[in-house]
């Protein structure tokens, strides 16, 4: 009787370990990386539906830097000088968020990370930046 209980406990532990490992492997495939940007998402978000644009300037003459569009980047460009910028994030063209930030040093070495996840009923995006502290925050997608 004791050996059957021990075998049952071991079987449950093995199933739990393999099940946990399989869930992590699925989550890790939801990632896209390019030169200056990495996008990840939990099981509720498909990173191929993300659009990210950096804009420079106000009013007329706004310059756009398309970082990613629907999981792809075709004409890759990135800001080359210091200044005030605006990061516009959209998911599936329905949920949107924006971040105003400043580059006080050369943005050529910048690495931006966007991580999409759900917390309760809220859709959130954690934005991290190597160079701009203004960008390191969690924003609500509305």
Give the pLDDT confidence of 105-124 residue by residue, as tens digits: 889 889 999 999 999 999 99
pTM: 0.76
Over residues 9-25, mean pLDDT:
53
Over residues 34-50, mean pLDDT:
91
**pLDDT on residue 100:** 94
Cα angle 14, 20, 22; round to 5:
100
Q: Report the candidate in 48, 95, 44, 92 with the shortest Cα–Cα distance to residue 70.
A: 48
Alpha-carbon span 86 to 129, nearest angstrom: 13
pLDDT digits (tens, 9 = 90+) for 69-104: 888 876 667 888 999 999 999 999 999 999 999 999
């Amino acid at each position: 009787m004791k050996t059957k209980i021990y075998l049952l406990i071991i079987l449950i532990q093995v199933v739990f370990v393999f099940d946990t490992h399989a869930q992590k492997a699925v989550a890790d495939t939801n990632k896209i990386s390019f030169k200056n940007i990495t996008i990840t998402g939990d099981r509720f978000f498909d990173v191929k539906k993300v659009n990210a644009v950096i804009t420079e300037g106000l009013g007329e003459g706004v310059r756009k830097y398309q970082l990613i569009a629907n999981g792809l980047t075709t004409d890759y460009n990135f800001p080359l000088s210091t200044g005030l910028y605006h990061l516009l994030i959209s998911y599936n063209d329905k949920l949107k968020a924006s971040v105003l930030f400043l580059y006080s040093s050369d943005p050529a070495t910048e690495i931006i990370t966007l991580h999409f996840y759900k917390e309760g009923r809220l859709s959130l995006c954690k934005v991290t930046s190597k160079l701009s502290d203004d960008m390191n925050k969690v924003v609500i997608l509305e």
